[in-house]
Amino acid sequence: MFVIQASGAAFLREGRSERQKGYNVTMPSLTAHQVSSQEIAERIKKVREKMEKAGLSAYISFDPDNIYYLTNFANFVHERPFVLVITPSDLTFVIPRLERAHVERHQVGDGLKLVDYAEFPALPGTRWSDRLQDVVPAQGTIGIEGACPAYLSAMVSNPTQVLNVIDAVREIKSPHEISRIAWTCDVMTKAFGMMLGSVKNGTMVAQAIGGVTPYFYQRCLTEASNYNVMSTHAAGLIQPPAYTDDPHNFSCLTAPCEPGGPFLGLIAGKINGYGAEIERTFFLEHVPEEARKPFDTMMEMRHKAYSMLKPGAIGSEIDAACQAIAKKAGYDNPLHRTGHSFGVTNHEAPFLAIGEDNVIQPGMLFSIEPGIYIQGKGGFRHSDTVLVTETGYEILTKYPHDKEELTLS
């Protein structure tokens, strides 16, 4: 059994066996520090540059993740909408009056104008839609992100264009974001070692994962001085063998862990505002003979993805190469793309998938998680959070990956 005990940058430098030879990789530092006003200003500047290229007089954001990215205010969508309006000169946040103190407590950055509305529902003239119409320019095309609900876009009388401008800016991470994600990876990987360390014959899944969430909060409360509980949504989970062919079925909390496999261990979500994940297929006491071929095929797919992951590569080509390995081995229907990105969420663009011909660039992050799923027999998937560097990549969730290392006693 492998238990992680190292810490900080030294921990993240361990286990480079999957890094492509010859790559000169620079490790990010780890930080849980608050985002700076300068960082927020740079993000807004990039959004405005894309708005100008698209010929927009304003851009409307409703997505809580995009709002958090540009303001540091974390909220969830309910009947009282929060609407961010960006123009070439102003950044205006239409908010419920009830939440004004909450926004002021957490916002970062200069120049954010708060415009509040009475309540929901409210009388005509005091509604959120009235305040929105007050701040949207009377002329020009308004950009609206794809996540905006129809009832919001219906309130805009200008010509509109659906564009995911903020999402596009988020694709390449700044040094601050990379350091925040590296910190999240450190938390998750250590928690993962704790979780697998508690798996024994007869252990109930709920018992094995019980220490994960307390560990998250302990790290946040001791290392993140401006920690906001609303910016952490993460969990640790274990799938026993009977469930692993169904990748997102985690309804097995009362199941006991019994010898054999494949099991899947997973920690995913976002901690202190930034997402990551780590997953491993593992075994208890022994590796069943029928599990060896699909495990080895999954590992071949994984190594292929790493061999192709570098600036200038095409995301769809990486996924196609992984799927070709699966099909050659006799597994015709891979259920899962090779990877997705991370940031202020734990699933976002760009993707490593056959449907997206994106060009990989330094500063992007991806999960590397090609998998094999055999109905009624089990699923096989490792996942790591991986940074694309100037010359290659760096795995931020270092953990053993071979069958022998992942066979628990």
Q: Is 80 exceeded by the pLDDT of residue 393?
A: yes
Beta bridge partners of 383: 279
Which tens digits make up the pLDDT trace of 29-69?
899 999 999 999 999 999 999 999 999 999 999 999 999 99
pLDDT at 73 over 70: yes
In the chain, list all ranges with CATH 3.40.350.10.
37-169
pLDDT tens, position by position, 263-291: 999 999 999 999 999 999 999 999 999 99
User: Average pLDDT, stretch 71-84?
Assistant: 93
Instruction: Work out the number of other CB atoms within 10 angstroms of the CB of residue 64.
Output: 18
* Numbered ranges of CATH 3.90.230.10 in the chain: 8-30+171-408
Homologous superfamily of the 37-169 domain (CATH): Creatinase/prolidase N-terminal domain (3.40.350.10)
DSSP string computed for 18-73: TSPTT----PPP---PPPPHHHHHHHHHHHHHHHHHHTEEEEEE--HHHHHHHH--
Provide, rounded to the nearest whole percent, the portion of the chain with pLDDT above 70.
Answer: 93
CA-angle at 355, arms to 21 and 50, nearest 5°: 90
CB-count burial class (<10 Å; 0-12, 13-18, 19+) for 391 = middle
Burial of 11 (0-12, 13-18, 19+ CB in 10 A): middle
Average pLDDT in the 67-94 region?
95
Nearest-angstrom CA–CA distance, 372 and 35? 39
pLDDT in tens, 339-384: 999 999 999 999 999 999 999 999 999 999 999 999 999 999 999 9
| Residue 27 pLDDT level (bands cut at 50, 70, 90) | low
pLDDT at 76 over 70: yes
Band the pLDDT of 26: cuts 50, 70, 90: low
Q: How far apart are alpha carbons 27 and 386 in whole angstroms?
A: 11
- Percentage of the chain surpassing pLDDT 90? 88
Average pLDDT over residues 70-99: 95
Query: What does the pLDDT look like over 131-159, one tens digit per residue?
Result: 999 999 999 999 999 999 999 999 999 99
Phi/psi at 247 (5° precision): -55, -35
Check pLDDT > 50 for residue 21. Answer: no
Cβ neighbours for 229, distance < 8 A, ≥ 6 positions apart: none
Residue 388 confidence (pLDDT) above 70: yes
Q: Is the pLDDT score of 23 beyond 70? A: no
Fold type of domain 8-30+171-408: Creatine Amidinohydrolase (3.90.230)
Question: Where does the pLDDT of residue 19 fall: very low under 50, low under 70, confident under 90, or very high at 90 and above?
Answer: very low
Q: Is the pLDDT of residue 7 over 50?
A: no
**Nearest-angstrom CA–CA distance, 336 and 247:** 9
Confidence of residue 120 (pLDDT cuts 50, 70, 90): very high
Q: Is pLDDT of 24 > 50?
A: no
